[in-house]
Amino acid sequence: MRTKTLLAWVSILVIGFTLLSCSKGGSGGGTTPPPPAPAPGSTLKVSLDKTEIPGDNWETVNITVTDQNNNNVTSSSSIYLGNVLVSGNSFWTNTPGTYQIQAKRSGITSPDVALTVTNPGPSPFSQKIVVEDYTGTWCGHCPRVGIKLEEYVNGGHPNCLVISNHGPNNDPYTFSNHAALANVFNSQGLYPTVYVDRDFKWSENTSQLDQQFTNRRAPLGLAIQTTVTGNLVNVTAKVKFDVNTAVNLKLVAYLLQDGEVYPQVNYGYYGLPNPIPGYVHNGILRRTGTNLFGDDIPTASQTKGNIYEKSFALDATGFNVNSCRVIVFVVQGPNSQQRKERAIINAQVVKAGLTKDFD
């Protein structure tokens, strides 16, 4: 009797051991074991390449995370600004204050590191906006936009700089590189199409233009010196920085022409006839003095208070140079984060033969 009882107890223990083993995983399924606890002595450390930046939305702080062996583990760590997860390992802002930065990795949380963001004060430069109107003399809907923009500029907004990019369909003012720009900004076959600061497509609501002036602090200003020699417009463009930035920036320069009179097709806008016989075309894009999408500004030149200069010549052959203007502007290049790629940062314009200082 005792032998049978002993066998029964042994059987129960074997079955219990088998069930316990199956519950811990294996090919038969079961729950996943918890991750191992951090090794004793494991730590994380957050380092900043600077502990103070101005809140100008351009100067950037770079964040590095290292482990207890001083290995760089930034890419495998989660970086937090307060309770907010940061995308990447760099940070910039336009909001002054003190920010606490920490990192988390494999269950370990680093000590907080403080970043101070100061008030940069007002910019010494006025903010210009560039409005590019993809238009044509043959386009019956284009006066709707062209006239509205002209009224906006003449109605107290001289810092709204309008470029009229004509083409195609045998337009007498077709820009030689019209298609290249139109393809990039998706305006082929859609006339009129208007882009503001190469940042967004205009909905023809002037409040959008107003916001471009009020919602930004100009990080740089531009000045232009020009002389005319025969059909050449000699230009020296200057860019003065009020920020420190390593963002890829480019300088663009175009020749514009004003005062060209040519009939404009019109589908009933503003009560004007079709065509409009004495329509005056202004801001006609004629030539480029740089790469169509801009020449690189050296990163080393992009420091607060520094002035970067570039000289070039614009060929005005075939145009009345007395009715020409030069427009220069700075755009954001590829792989930049602050704003949209190709977006215009600031601009300046001057009549050919004259000089325009920083303002």
Cβ(221)–Cβ(35) below 8 Å: no
**If 0-12 CB within 10 Å is exposed, 13-18 middle and 19+ buried, where does residue 275 land?**
middle
pLDDT of residue 3 exceeding 90, the answer is no
Residue 40 banded pLDDT, cuts 50, 70, 90: low
CA distance 322 to 114: 57
Same domain, 242 and 346: yes
**For residue 17, is it within any domain?**
no
Rounded to whole angstroms, how far apart are CA atoms 317 and 55? 46
Let me know whether 143 and 283 are in one domain.
yes
**Which of the listed residues 85, 118, 151 is the one where a domain comes to its end?**
118
Q: For residue 20, give the 3-state DSSP assignment.
A: helix
Compute CA distances 12 → 8, 16, 20, 282, 339, whole Å: 6, 6, 12, 97, 70
Helix (H) or strand (E) holding 178: helix 178-184
Please state, rounded to an integer, the average pLDDT across all residues of the chain. 89
Asked whether residue 29 carries a pLDDT value surpassing 80, the answer given is no
Q: What pLDDT shows up at residue 334?
A: 83
pLDDT at residue 236 tops 50: yes
Shared domain for 291 and 161, answered yes or no, is yes
In a domain, 151, yes or no: yes
Q: Which residue has the tokens 């964040």?
A: 63
Residues 221 and 175 both lie in one domain: yes
Tally of structural domains, the chain:
2
Domain ends where: 118, 152, 175?
118
With respect to residue 26, please indicate whether it lies within any of the assigned structural domains. no
Q: Name which of 112, 108, 114 is nearest 68 in CA terms.
A: 108
Range of the domain at 351: 129-356
pTM of the full structure: 0.85
Co-location of 154 and 113 in the same domain: no
Q: Give pLDDT tens digits for 250-263.
A: 999 999 999 999 99
Could you tell me if 91 and 218 lie in one domain?
no
218 inside domain:
yes
pLDDT band at 169 (very low <50, low <70, confident <90, very high): confident
Same domain, 145 and 247: yes
240 and 345 share one domain: yes
Q: What is the pLDDT of residue 23?
A: 34
| Residue of 102, 96, 169 whose CA lies nearest to 134 | 169
**pLDDT tens sequence across 59-99:** 999 999 999 999 999 999 999 999 999 989 999 999 999 99
Residues 170 and 268 in one domain: yes
The answer to whether residue 11 sits within a structural domain is no
Place of tokens 């020409």: 324
Tell me the mean pLDDT in the region 111-123: 97
> Which of 1-5, 28-32, 200-204 has the least mean pLDDT?
1-5
Domain limit, last residue, from 94, 118, 142: 118
CA distance 86 to 130: 32
Residue 22: inside a domain = no
Residue 294 sits in a domain whose CATH number is 2.60.40.10
Query: Which tokens sit at 325?
Result: 């203007």
Confidence class of residue 20 from pLDDT cuts 50, 70 and 90? very low
Same domain, 111 and 139: no
Strand-pair partners of 204: none
Asked whether residue 73 falls in the same domain as residue 156, the answer is: no
Same domain (yes/no): 207, 324: yes
For residues 3-25, average pLDDT? 36
31 found inside a domain:
no
Would 266 be classed as within a structural domain?
Answer: yes
Residue 189 has what pLDDT? 76
